[in-house]
């Protein structure tokens, strides 16, 4: 049976949550940043800020030059996590087959819904779902519908924000012929370059030239089938926790600035740790990866005796790994992490010698989580001393009051 798959992706997700929670930000250029000073990085921008050329990864100082009227807000992952959970719960009321794909996107298998058998109904259904999400969760989403996950994901991106698109037999070729190959989810910059050397320029080339299956092996078979509407990859409503988690991202520009690379990496670490907690897991092994402009990889791995989801423990470790592998003068394009040897967060046994310190750190994280949940992320922050390995004590200090976070 031909499948019917919806892909739902929130529009400027973090900014949308900030705007929902602070109506003053409505219809304004809002930038969500890991920090709002000159060393910060934009994590997402509202659609009002995007025409200025600001995107994820733009340094804050540059973003302010591009759009002096931008309003800067610091990230608050607890609220994004909560909103994400609520969104996934809502989607689960539509179908038992829901696959959360990232914090703000999910696939929903709608196969068999009788009212969706004609095209008009398909689009109307997506519009009703958008409205329901806006009313119940308070954020705008875009929805794509197609017979494979890859096409559904492409469709959700076609008319953003608040877009709806249905890719079907009739419009598929036209849509794919307008889509550059690099815009196909899963085709990285390197692959796109390689393929362009063989004359593949649009997604339609990938869908029409069957030799891609020999050329790229299983990845080629996946692209060929899914772009032709054949659901090779099912919507996997996960019941098992993940075995590993990874988060790698390319910088908007090549950079040799170590401070920028580390700051970017720590932001990714924060996001990944949040995902780890979202899955109620801890990691016993973390790998830091740095990729240079010419695609050479360097990585360093640390194994923990006791699994952790604590940034108190992860940040100093990552700083050490970073020092080990970063090279002066090298231009970097990408960084990220792989967390493996994941374990359920509870119950947990402390090792004999470190038990007091570990228990303290856990208590600290729990307290911070609870406070952040109630008062916002920055009610407390790690003091310099707590992340500095050479010092012993772990302290917390109050930081910026939540209402002061919107700076400009």
Chain residues in the site for Mg ion (CB under 5 A): 9-10, 13, 104
CB closer to Mg ion out of 84 and 310: 84
Cα 238 to chain centroid distance, Å, stands at 18
Which range in 8-16, 109-117, 308-316, 322-330 contacts ligand TTP by CB under 6 A?
8-16
Query: Quick check: is 105 catalytic?
Result: yes
Q: How far is CA 235 from CA 5, 111, 231, 283, 394, in A?
A: 8, 11, 9, 26, 44
Under a CB-based contact definition with an 8 Å cutoff, are residues 308 and 314 in contact?
yes
We find the least distance from the C-beta atom of residue 114 to ligand TTP, in angstroms, to be 31
Partner in contact with 242, chosen from ligand TTP, Mg ion, none, beta carbon below 5 to 8 Å by kind: none
We find the least distance from the C-beta atom of residue 96 to ligand TTP, in angstroms, to be 24
How far apart CA 126 and CA 112 sit, in angstroms, is 15
Binding mask 303-332 for ligand TTP (x = CB under 6 A): ------------------------------
How far apart CA 383 and CA 145 sit, in angstroms, is 47
Under a CB-based contact definition with an 8 Å cutoff, are residues 36 and 178 in contact?
no
Residue 107 touches ligand TTP, criterion: CB under 6 A: no
CB closer to Mg ion out of 11 and 362: 11
Task: Report strand pairing: 105-109 vs 5-10.
Answer: antiparallel
What tokens appear for 223 in the block? 């692209």
Q: How far is CA 28 from CA 36, 135, 216, in A?
A: 17, 21, 44
Torsion sign over Cα 355, 361, 366, 367 = positive
Residue 132 touches ligand TTP, criterion: CB under 6 A: no
Which range in 3-11, 181-189, 204-212, 400-408 contacts ligand TTP by CB under 6 A?
3-11
CB closer to ligand TTP out of 60 and 216: 60
Which range in 6-14, 59-67, 255-263, 342-350 contacts ligand TTP by CB under 6 A?
6-14
Classify the phi-psi angles of 229: left when phi > 0, otherwise alpha if psi is within -120 to 50, otherwise beta: left
Residues contacting ligand TTP: total by CB under 6 A: 16
Of residues 241-270, which lie at the interface with ligand TTP (CB under 6 A)?
A: 249
Residue 200 touches ligand TTP, criterion: CB under 6 A: no
Which entry of 18, 48, 105, 274 is annotated as an active-site residue? 105
- What DSSP string runs through 258-308? HHHHHHHHHHHHHHHHHHHHHTTEEEEEEEEEEEETT--EEEEEEEEEEEE
CB closer to ligand TTP out of 59 and 220: 59
CB closer to Mg ion out of 47 and 254: 47
Partner in contact with 39, chosen from ligand TTP, Mg ion, none, beta carbon below 5 to 8 Å by kind: none
CB closer to ligand TTP out of 163 and 220: 163
C-beta neighbour count of 14 within 10 angstroms: 26
CB closer to ligand TTP out of 267 and 310: 267
Partner in contact with 249, chosen from ligand TTP, Mg ion, none, beta carbon below 5 to 8 Å by kind: ligand TTP
Which range in 10-18, 257-265, 275-283, 314-322 contacts ligand TTP by CB under 6 A?
10-18
Q: Is 252 helix (H, G, I), strand (E, B) or coil?
A: strand
Residue 91 touches ligand TTP, criterion: CB under 6 A: no
We find the least distance from the C-beta atom of residue 156 to Mg ion, in angstroms, to be 9
How far apart CA 68 and CA 72 sit, in angstroms, is 11
Q: How far is CA 134 from CA 69, 77, 304, in A?
A: 27, 20, 42
C-beta neighbour count of 308 within 10 angstroms: 24
Which residue of 19, 31, 43, 70 would you call a contact of ligand TTP, by CB under 6 A? 43
What tokens appear for 218 in the block? 């299983």
Q: Which residues bind ligand TTP (CB under 6 A)?
A: 9-14, 43-44, 56-57, 103-104, 160-161, 249, 271
The residues carrying an active-site annotation are: 105
């Amino acid at each position: 049976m031909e499948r019917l798959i919806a892909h739902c992706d929130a529009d400027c997700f973090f900014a949308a949550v900030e705007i929902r929670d602070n109506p003053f930000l409505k219809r304004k250029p809002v930038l969500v940043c890991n920090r709002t000073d000159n060393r910060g990085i934009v994590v997402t921008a509202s659609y009002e800020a995007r025409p200025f050329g600001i995107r994820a990864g733009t340094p804050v100082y540059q973003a302010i030059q591009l759009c002096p009227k931008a309003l800067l807000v610091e990230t608050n992952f607890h609220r994004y996590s909560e909103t994400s959970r609520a969104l996934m719960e809502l989607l689960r009321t539509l179908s038992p087959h829901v696959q959360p794909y990232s914090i703000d996107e999910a696939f929903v298998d709608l196969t068999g819904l009788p009212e969706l058998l004609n095209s008009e109904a398909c689009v109307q259904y997506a519009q009703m779902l958008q409205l329901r999400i806006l009313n119940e969760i308070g954020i705008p989403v875009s929805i794509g519908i197609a017979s494979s996950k890859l096409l559904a994901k492409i469709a959700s991106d076609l008319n953003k924000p608040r877009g709806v698109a249905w890719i079907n037999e009739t419009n598929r070729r036209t849509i794919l012929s307008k889509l550059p190959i690099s815009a196909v989810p899963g085709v990285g910059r390197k692959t796109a370059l390689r393929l362009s050397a063989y004359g593949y320029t649009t997604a339609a080339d990938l869908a029409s030239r069957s030799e891609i299956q020999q050329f790229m092996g299983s990845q080629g078979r996946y692209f060929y089938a899914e772009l032709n509407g054949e659901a090779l990859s099912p919507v996997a409503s996960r019941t098992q926790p993940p075995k590993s988690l990874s988060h790698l991202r390319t910088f908007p520009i090549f950079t040799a600035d170590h401070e920028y690379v580390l700051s970017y990496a720590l932001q990714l670490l924060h996001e990944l740790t949040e995902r780890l907690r979202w899955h109620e897991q801890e990691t016993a092994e973390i790998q830091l990866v740095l990729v240079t402009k010419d695609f050479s990889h360097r990585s360093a791995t640390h194994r923990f005796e006791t699994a952790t989801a604590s940034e108190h423990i992860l940040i100093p470790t990552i700083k050490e790994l970073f020092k080990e592998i970063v090279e002066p003068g090298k231009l970097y394009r990408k960084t990220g992490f792989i967390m493996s040897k994941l374990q359920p967060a509870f119950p947990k046994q402390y090792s004999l010698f470190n038990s007091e310190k570990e228990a303290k750190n856990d208590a600290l994280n729990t307290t911070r989580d609870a406070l952040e949940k109630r008062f916002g992320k920055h009610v407390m922050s790690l003091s310099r001393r707590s992340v500095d390995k050479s010092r012993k004590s772990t302290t917390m200090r109050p930081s910026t009051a939540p209402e002061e976070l919107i700076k400009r």
